[in-house]
Amino acid sequence: MENNLVDLQYPIGRPVLPEGPLTSAERAVYIEQLAALPGQLTVAARKAGGVRLENPYRPGGWTGRQVLHHVADVHMNFDIRFRLALTEDNPTIRPFDMNAWAVLPDISASPVTVSLMLLEALHSRWVTLLWHLTDEQWQRTFYHPLYQQTYTLDQALVQYSWHGRHHLAHIELLSREA
């Protein structure tokens, strides 16, 4: 049972961050994944349907509704982290309590379509920025105090692409329920 819960929690596995710079071709794959994510989440949410989105994707996990709003919340933060790293010297980013955000009143009161539309607009702008970065800019960094680690934008790109696909898989789990 424990193994099954791990599979449900991390259905695509855990992220593996690069140790060195990515190639342009490698970056392109991750940027395309970010570009495609809003549409993929919208399709998965429609397939799951409103009733199933009120269910957790695993025992003890968030509901599909919470996951979709979470992706929008987190990706707004991810975009800001990129912008800080591009405009400041190794800024310290501000972590936030994702579990506390997942139970704020707007999560249950807002339709998931609001966050899906937000993601569509956000990713459109974010992806435009990412396509225009130079190799040098991809090596800019930010410091994450929760993990006490400095990340390059290359590493952040891999992490953030994984994050979207990770939660897409959670929504897809709900669409497979009987």
For the chain, what is the domain count? 1
Location of structure tokens 């993929």? 40
The C-alpha atoms of residue 120 and residue 73 are separated, in whole angstroms, by 13
3-state helix, strand, coil in the chain (%, to 5): 65, 5, 30
Other residues' Cβ atoms within 10 Å of the Cβ of residue 134: 8
* CATH code (residue 102): 1.20.120.450
What would the pLDDT profile of 74-125 be if each residue is shown by its tens digit? 999 999 999 999 999 999 999 999 999 999 999 999 999 999 999 999 999 9
Cβ pair 91, 142 in contact under 8 A: yes
pLDDT at 178: 43
Domain that holds residue 155: 2-14+23-175
In one-letter notation, the amino acid at residue 141 is T
pLDDT at position 2, please?
A: 46
